Amino acid sequence: MRIILGIEYNGSHYHGWQAQAHANSIQQTLERALSKIAAHPLQVQCAGRTDAGVHALEQIIHFDTEAERPMQAWLLGGNSHLPDDVRILWAQPAIGDFHARYSAIARFYRYVICNRPIKSALLYQQSTWCYPPLDAEKMHQAAQHLIGEHDFTSFRAQSCESKSPNRLMHFIEVYRQGDQVIMDISANAFLHHMVRNIAGVLMEVGSGKQPTDWTSHLLAVKDRKQAARTAPPEGLYLGGVCYPAHYGLNTHPIFAKLPRDAKRFD
């Protein structure tokens, strides 16, 4: 049987999602807990790997097992073996050929910026601090140049191993909530550090250092060196993953904003 889980985590004390020999990871933490419920070793697959210090509002994972357990056992039993900064939100059996990564048709990330003169104690390691005042409206205007299918070479890490720099950007919204500036962004898939590089560029625009059409220029030049520094990982959250309706998964309400022609595979 293939089981699907929705996972929430605070990535502050982990070296990212992927299992590593000499560092603590989200993947290893989940596999240890779930293997106790299954009574045999398990390997989990995720919708999208997150870097060190990055969080998830809802990561989607799946695993295969011969152990017959009620869904509540995976949910409650799994959580009983997990640390307080990792939680299983829901569990359900997979339908058909579901794969957490390869069945996904869109991902949603949120980037949170604490924009005030003093750092936040409550959002320590859960937001990026930027003390110069940011113009969220200008950031939003600049972000709209990135909508659609583009070559995102200027926004990918130099170490990115993806064969193609092209991605289909569904929407980007930048808005202010009190002393927080929030960026919500969705695409069919993302390049390595792509969201953090976009956030870094938009903060340059928001602080008045660059014009709102700088994003168009960066798309055209296809040169990572001409863009801004990569924004810190602390403000980044994997917000949710969208799948075709026939898999029977409830998706984050934000995916209702996807254009009708967005249902395409990466």
Domains of the chain with CATH codes? 2-103 (3.30.70.580), 106-239 (3.30.70.660)
For 145, phi and psi rounded to 5 degrees?
Answer: -65, -15
Instruction: Kindly report, residue by residue over 246-258, the tens digit of the pLDDT.
Output: 999 987 888 887 7
pLDDT for residue 262: 55
Residue 112 CB-half CA count within 13 A: 21
Burial class (CB in 10 A: 0-12, 13-18, 19+), 176: middle
Which residue's structure tokens are 């990564």?
Answer: 101
pLDDT for residue 266: 37
Instruction: Kindly report, residue by residue over 101-131, the tens digit of the pLDDT.
Output: 999 999 999 999 999 999 999 999 999 999 9
The pTM assigned to this predicted structure is 0.93
213 is catalytic: no
C-alpha to C-alpha distance for 173 and 185, rounded to whole angstroms? 6
C-alpha to C-alpha distance for 237 and 256, rounded to whole angstroms? 19
Instruction: Kindly report, residue by residue over 64-91, the tens digit of the pLDDT.
Output: 999 999 999 999 999 999 999 999 999 9
- Residue 260 confidence class, pLDDT cut points 50, 70, 90: low
- Locate 148 and state its tokens: 């659609």
pLDDT for residue 258: 77
Which is higher by pLDDT, 5 or 255? Answer: 5
pLDDT of 265 over the 80 cut: no
C-alpha to C-alpha distance for 145 and 126, rounded to whole angstroms? 28
pLDDT for residue 261: 53
Instruction: Kindly report, residue by residue over 191-220, the tens digit of the pLDDT.
Output: 999 999 999 999 999 999 999 999 999 999
